[in-house]
Every structure is written in structure tokens, then in C-alpha cells.
Amino acid sequence: MEISVQISLYPLGKEHLSQDISGFVELLRAKGLRCEVGRMSTVLSGNSDDVFGALKEAYSFMASRGACVMVSTISNACPV
């Protein structure tokens, strides 16, 4: 099943966020998924197994670097 996920990542306790957020997006892109970066969130699209696997891997990596929050909205109905 094809899905879209809108994701916002919030690294906590860091003065500069852009490096961590860019790294998170690059991890997702490396999985070959469609990834549209916006000013407030990123939309990731693809096969549900691939998307969930990539999210798990990218979040686990970011969490290993420090405290963070990831907010996501998942849809199988929005355009992909």
C-alpha cells in the first residue's frame, strides 16, 4: 500500500537544529523514498513497509544522538 507521512522532527536541548534535521532528511532520502522538505515539516511517500522501516531507522538514529520529538500524520488517502 502506498502512503504519505507528514513528519516534524524536534531535536531537544540543542542550540542549532538545522544539522540534525538535515541529517534526518538525508537518512530518509537514502532509502529511495519520495521526500518533500518544507519549512515546518517533511512529506515522505512510498510503500508502507519501506516508509515505516525508514522512519524507524531514522528516528532511532536521531534518538541515539540526544532527546528528540517526532510528530507524524499518516495517510493512505492523500495524494502520493
Residue 35: the pLDDT is 92
What pTM, to 2 d.p., does this model score?
Answer: 0.85
- In the chain, the domains with their CATH numbers are 2-75 (3.30.70.930)
Q: What is the mean pLDDT of each run of 10 residues along the chain (80 residues)?
A: 94 83 89 91 94 94 92 87
Residue 80: the pLDDT is 57
Question: For the residues of the chain, what is the DSSP string, one character each?
Answer: -EEEEEEEEEE-S-S--HHHHHHHHHHHHTTT-EEEE-SS-EEEEEEHHHHHHHHHHHHHHHHHHS-EEEEEEEESSS--
Cell triple for 32: 529511495
